[in-house]
Amino acid sequence: MNQDEIKKFLESFIPKRERTIVVIDFGNVEKWKNGLGWRVGIRELASLLKHFTYGKRFLRRFYYGADYGQKEKSSELTDWSRYMLRTADLNGLEVIDKRVKYIYSPDNIYGFEKKCDLDVEMAVDLIRERDNYDTIILFSGDGDLVVALKYLKEEYNKKAIVMSARGHMGREIIDAKRGGIIDEILYADDFEYRLNMDRFSKRG
């Protein structure tokens, strides 16, 4: 998509905004930087979402791990995790979090890996809120939600649009598009001028 096509696409959403749910798997979105060469900013993302959904905060859903550090009994978020979750909240996103697990991994240079999978929560919320939307916009290249999207398409005729970065999209997403389960695929690469948190500093 070029900028003119993106503008027309966003304008087409104006009559749909009150019946669109946005699901952001931000743990997945963070990984896009490896292919994009730039990071998707939360503020920039929230600004873009205003074109897709409007008014109802609970339809702008931000899923992200809450990191309390390696100590299981710790009740204090790490500075980075606190900053990310607070930034999402202050920018009008409905934050859904779950505690990050630290898993021992001798092959990792740090000796551990972090894990926080919110796919079940996303799938349940999509089904639970089905009466409040007609269109789903999913920010994730992970194919694990395809089963839920298929169910919602077949049983409730929900339209699904997926945004991911090129090279970060699961095979399941591509197959679901070919099978009519996903209506459209968008690429974050094309939306850089709206999503790149460093775009202004780069111009300088």
The per-residue pLDDT for range 61-99, each reduced to its tens digit, is: 999 999 998 887 888 999 999 999 999 999 999 999 999
Cα angle value 190/32/114 (rounded, 5°): 165
Domain ranges of the chain: 3-203
Asked if the 3-203 domain carries CATH number 3.90.1150.10, the reply is: no
C-beta of residue 64 within 8 angstroms of C-beta of residue 94: no
Q: What is the pLDDT of residues 93-124, one digit of tens each?
A: 999 999 998 887 777 666 667 888 899 999 99
Residue type, position 64, single letter: Y
pTM of the complete model: 0.90
DSSP label of 101: E
Consecutive H or E run containing 164: strand 159-164
Beta bridge partners of 135: 20, 159
**Cα gap 23→120, rounded to integer Å:** 13
Q: What is the pLDDT of residues 159-202, one digit of tens each?
A: 999 999 998 888 999 999 999 999 999 999 999 988 998 764 44
Is pLDDT above 60 for 36? yes
**Would you state the pLDDT for residue 199?**
66
